Amino acid sequence: MSADRKPEPDLVSRAAEGLAGIDRLVHEPARLAVLAILAVVEEADFVFVQRRAGLTAGNLATHLARLEEAGFVRITKTFENRRPCTLLALTEGGRSALTSWRKSMGRLLDLLP
């Protein structure tokens, strides 16, 4: 599109609607990374997810709190050989949210010329 042409109002409207449909909780890059990691494993320990996502422990803990509050992840604290172990798993709600995000992003990207 040249600088002289204005975008089609319908396209702009559909793009705005598409953006409005993106779940911001899922779309945030660090949380998206956590959800993507957990989507391909049954469960994972905190340190594994931290390393794979490239996050600090504090940053991961903050994002996990938001995801757990939304019902997207299950956090289980256990002990292995008397050492604390935090296990993380994607819930059905989290899997559904990730699937919805993927579909919404696909529809939005399909609008691009």
The CATH code of the domain that includes 43 is: 1.10.10.10
C-alpha–C-alpha distance, residues 24 and 12, integer Å: 20
87 neighbors 44 (Cβ within 8 angstroms): yes
The confidence score (pLDDT) of residue 61 equals 98
pTM to 2 decimals?
0.82
Residues in the chain: 113
Q: pLDDT tens across 11-51, in order?
A: 666 666 666 678 899 999 999 999 999 999 999 999 999 99
The confidence score (pLDDT) of residue 64 equals 98
C-alpha 12, offset from chain centre: 25
Q: What domain range is 90 assigned to? A: 9-110
Residue range 67-96: mean pLDDT, rounded:
96
Residue range 48-74: mean pLDDT, rounded:
98
Count of domains observed in the chain:
1
**70 falls within a domain:** yes
Give the mean pLDDT of the chain. Answer: 89
The confidence score (pLDDT) of residue 110 equals 82
